[in-house]
Structures are given as C-alpha cells and as structure tokens.
C-alpha cells in the first residue's frame, strides 16, 4: 500500500514453532501459560505461509530463503571428541552482552524537528518471537509537507501471525484513515483520534474475515490459502502505536491491550517525572472490567481473576475465540483440525464479541527546548518494573552517558554464587528493586531489558537467558523496548 520510499522497519524471526499464550489454564500448583490456536493447521501452516511471504531484510526487500543446500560429499565427523559428556559452561558476561545486543538498534535523527535519536532492542523468549515492532518515518497524513515518525510494538499471543501482520498493515490503515478524514478547514485531535480508532477496528475486521463461512467454503481458495487467512483472526496481538508530528510537536499514542508507553519529562527543578501515555487494557484494570460488563448486561462471570473469559488482555487484534459466535467456532474447528482451546460455556458466552481492537488514543504536546523521552514496550518489560522505575532508570542512564563513568555490576545483596534462590521470584516473576539496578549498556533499550531480567545480578541474568524455547516462556516473556529522545 505504501510506496517504496517508506523506510518503515518491520521484522520477522525464525526458530522453533512454539507459542506463548495469555490463556489461563488451571494446573497443579501455580497457573501456567498454554500454547493454543484455532487449530494445529492455523498455528503451524499459517505461520510458515506468512513468514515466507512477508519476511523482509533491512532495506524492506523480500528476503530469499534457502530451501536446501547441495553438498559435494558427506561431512567428516570426529568420534574422538564429545566423549565423555561435558555440560556447557554458564554464559560469560561478554556472551550475555552479545545476547542482549543481537537484536538492538540505535538511530540518530537530525532532520526531524524536536527529535534527536531513538534506540530499541528485542530479546525473544518464544521461538519464533511473538513480539513485532516498527519504527521509521512516513509522509504526513495531513499533507503538511513534513514526514511524521512512528514507533510501534505489537505483542502477539497464540502465535506470531497477528503481530507480524500488524507490522505490514496497521500503519497503512492509520495513514489512509487519517488522510481521508483530513479537512481543508482544519483537523483537530478529536478527528485524528476517531480516524485512528476507525483504522484499528477496520483492520481487525479484515483479520477476522478469514473466519467467515464465505472464505472457508470458497472453491477458489486452496486449503493453505484458507489457513493463512484464518491465522490472523485466530491468533491475537496487543498493539501500541505512536505517531509524532514534528510540525505541531504532537505525540499521538494509540493503545490496544497491555503494552505501554510512558513519557519521561524533566521538570524545571531538573528532576524526571513519569507521565502516562497509555493505560493498560487488561482484565485486572477495573475500568476495563466495568466496560465489558456494561456492554453485556446481565451476563455473569465474564471477568474473573483479572481475565476476560480467560484472556489476560481486554482489548486485542484477532482473538476470534473471543469474538466469533460459538457456532462459527465449532464449525471452524471441524474444518481446520481440533485445537486445544477449551470451548466456551454457552451459559456464559452469549453475546460476542467480548473484546475489541478499538484503542484508547492520547495526544501530548512536547514543548520546544524541554528534555523528554518516551519508553514504548511490550508487557515483558512492564511485568518487571513500574513506569516510574523505567523512567528513573533511563534518567540514570542519561547521567551515566554524560559522565562516562562505568558502574560495575554487583551481586544482589544477600545472595552468593551457588546459593541463588529462584523461589524468591517463582510466583510473581522477577521484579526490579533498587539493589539490583545496573547501568552499563550503551543502548538505553538494552539497559532497560537487562534490568528487567536481573540487572546487576549477573547470575540471574545469565540463567534467565540460558532458558530457551519452549521452557523460557515460563521464566521470562518476549521483551521489546524502544526509547525515543526528544529535544
């Protein structure tokens, strides 16, 4: 939809076909996250179909995939090595740094009013990573003559198809809707907010249309095509998209789900304060729970234990299991392989949809000459720290960069090598505390990510990074972070 000049970066990842879910499934002991999808076909075949058709390289050109390799002869194997078994050593500090920085980026911006630079990073837990992101510039939808900037984070669940599709289509939808709503007499924030909301909902409807009977019964589509179209509606994804207009210095943030954006703003006294740019739309947000109940009066049991019919987020793209009628879901399961999602109780699931992709949108004016930065990240970061802690850590990082004074990581107080106590974090996951904060990374997003998985406790950081799919999702989530610096 966009011309080739659009330097928007979207990425796809490789790895084991393994999903992280936000579905609550009871089990002995603590609840755990379960892997699901509308069907095995949509979870596996849909991912491969989407990955091979939409993978891009740095320049936005379709990447080539090597299907097989021709060998001139059988490789030589040496049976004299590898016996007896020797366990791999723990990750060294250098290897930890390499892991944290392997999907990191830093961009200096000189031609955009009010913007100096931005940095980002992603550390996957799932294979493939279910988080996706975009960043870059694009033509102003208001036809102001100045390019706008965007940063987006898309936190997928039940698979990576929906979050990957958002990297390709959400910005084009928003751009089109805002551009078409623009009036010669002017365009206020209320109109921009409505256009963004309409764009989100329209794209979600397009995702869900893959489950229409007309699509799944079409004689003109192959089975693989039907699965591919079904995948974006059966999987799900939260989305947070920020748009910066340098002409007005306005920062628009649209949030669907429980990813988050926060502004770090320096006061006249030189202190940094955290200003919310979004509100977490999860089942644990009482306002969201009340909204769901108000939309379905007289229906009991919709929101329990911070979840909407078992789903952690109260708003999301896709997630047809919470939007399609029960009869359609039963029909899709019969046509596209039985899935592991427990069927909803018809006594409870009466008037879908129960979740929506419509975002909440905020607009913030960034005064000229005032230092500020935005942190936009998936919930893998926010599970470990508060907005105030994140802003404080970036403020410390700014001071550290200015002074160039190294800070040596120290073990967390009270714990010694060989005596680490994971039970301390087992029920709630790791939470940042003052004793564990480390400031040592050149990239602000990597700095936040390190502190989200242990910070100065090198033993914990190395251990959590050593967990790989499928087990890593039980100890850490996918973490995607972007930090944008304004001036």
Q: 318 near 237, Cβ under 8 Å?
A: yes
| For the chain, counts of helices (H) and of strands (E) | 14, 17
Residue 51 has pLDDT above 50, yes or no: no
3 state SS for 109-143:
CCCCCCEEEEEEEEECCCCCCCEEEEEEEECCCCC
Q: Where are the beta strands (DSSP E) in 142-271?
A: 148-157, 236-245, 250-256, 260-266
- Choose the weakest-confidence range: 5-14, 62-71, 404-413: 5-14
Strand pairing partners for 280? none
Asked if the structure places residue 344 within a domain, the reply is yes
60 torsion bin: left (phi>0), alpha (psi -120 to 50), beta (else): left
Q: Which of 56-65, 177-186, 317-326 has the lowest mean pLDDT?
A: 56-65
For range 408-437, the mean pLDDT: 70
301 in a structural domain: yes
The Cα 320–Cα 327 span in angstroms is 12
Question: Which pair of structure tokens corresponds to residue 247?
Answer: 């002409």
- Whether 272 is covered by a domain: the verdict is yes
Tell me if 455 is assigned to some domain: yes
The CATH number of residue 345's host domain is 3.60.40.10
pTM for the predicted model, two decimal places: 0.85
pLDDT band at 372 (very low <50, low <70, confident <90, very high): very high
d(CA 136, CA 118): 10
Collect all residues with Cβ–Cβ distance below 8 Å to 45 and sequence separation of at least 6: 224, 227, 228
- Answer yes or no: are the C-beta atoms of 114 and 249 closer than 8 Å: yes
Number of domain units in the chain? 1
Query: How many residues does the structure list for the chain?
Result: 487
With a cut of 60, say whether residue 20 has pLDDT above it.
no
The CA distance from 42 to 192, in Å, is 35
| Tokens representing residue 135 in the block | 């960043």
The answer to the question of residue 85 being in a domain is no
Q: Residue range 267-271: average pLDDT?
A: 91
Does residue 430 lie in a domain region? yes
* Cα–Cα distance, 292 to 184 (Å, whole number): 38
- Give 350-369 pLDDT, tens digit per residue: 999 999 999 999 999 999 98
* Residue (of 284, 283, 275) closest to 253 by Cα position: 275
The angle subtended at Cα 1 by Cα 59 and Cα 356, nearest 5°, is 105
Provide mean pLDDT across the span 438-466. 94
Range of the domain at 214: 9-64+92-486
Q: Within a 10 A sphere around the Cβ of 471, how many other Cβ atoms?
A: 10
* Within a domain: 152: yes
Is 72 inside a domain boundary? Answer: no
């Amino acid at each position: 939809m966009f011309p080739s000049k659009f330097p928007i970066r979207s990425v796809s990842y490789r790895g084991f076909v393994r999903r992280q879910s936000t579905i609550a499934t009871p089990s002995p002991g603590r609840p755990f996250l379960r892997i699901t999808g509308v069907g095995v076909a949509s979870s596996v075949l849909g991912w491969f179909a989407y990955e091979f058709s939409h993978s891009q390289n740095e320049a936005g050109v379709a990447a080539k995939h090597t299907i097989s390799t021709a060998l001139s002869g059988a490789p030589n194997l040496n049976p004299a090595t590898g016996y007896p078994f020797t366990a791999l050593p723990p990750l060294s500090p250098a290897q930890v740094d390499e892991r944290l920085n392997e999907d990191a980026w830093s961009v200096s911006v000189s031609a955009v009013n009010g913007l100096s630079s931005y940095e980002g990073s992603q550390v996957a837990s799932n294979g493939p990573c279910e988080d996706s992101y975009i960043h870059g510039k694009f033509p102003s939808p208001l036809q102001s003559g100045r390019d706008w900037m965007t940063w987006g984070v898309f936190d997928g669940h039940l698979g990576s198809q929906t979050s990957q599709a958002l990297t390709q289509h959400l910005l084009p939808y928003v751009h089109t809707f805002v551009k078409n709503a623009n009036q010669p007499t002017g365009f206020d924030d209320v109109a921009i907010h409505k256009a963004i909301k309409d764009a989100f909902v329209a794209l979600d409807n397009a995702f869900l249309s893959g489950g229409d009977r007309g699509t799944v019964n079409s004689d003109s589509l192959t089975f693989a095509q039907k699965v591919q179209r079904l995948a974006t509606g059966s999987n799900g994804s939260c989305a947070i998209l920020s748009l910066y207009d340098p002409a007005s210095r306005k920062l628009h943030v649209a949030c669907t789900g429980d990813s988050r954006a926060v502004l770090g703003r320096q006061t006249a006294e030189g202190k940094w304060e955290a200003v919310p740019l979004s509100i977490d739309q999860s089942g644990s947000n009482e306002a969201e729970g009340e909204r769901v109940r108000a939309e379905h009066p007289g229906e009991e049991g919709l929101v329990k234990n911070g979840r909407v019919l078992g789903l952690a987020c109260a708003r999301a793209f896709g997630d047809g299991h919470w939007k399609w009628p029960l009869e359609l879901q039963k029909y899709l399961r019969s046509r596209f392989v039985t899935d592991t999602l427990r069927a909803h109780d018809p006594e409870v699931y009466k008037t879908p949809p129960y979740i929506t992709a419509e975002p909440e949108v905020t607009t913030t004016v960034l005064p000229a000459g005032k230092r500020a930065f935005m942190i936009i990240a998936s919930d893998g970061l926010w599970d470990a720290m508060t907005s105030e802690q994140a802003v404080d850590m970036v403020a410390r990082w700014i001071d550290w960069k200015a002074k160039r004074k190294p800070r040596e990581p120290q073990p967390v107080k009270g714990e010694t090598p060989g005596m680490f106590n994971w039970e301390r974090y087992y029920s709630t996951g790791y939470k940042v505390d003052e004793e564990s904060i480390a400031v040592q990374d050149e990239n602000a997003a990597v700095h936040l990510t390190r502190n989200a998985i242990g910070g100065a406790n090198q033993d914990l950081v190395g251990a959590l990074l050593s967990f790989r799919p499928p087990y890593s999702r039980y100890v850490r989530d996918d973490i995607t972070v972007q930090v944008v610096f304004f001036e």
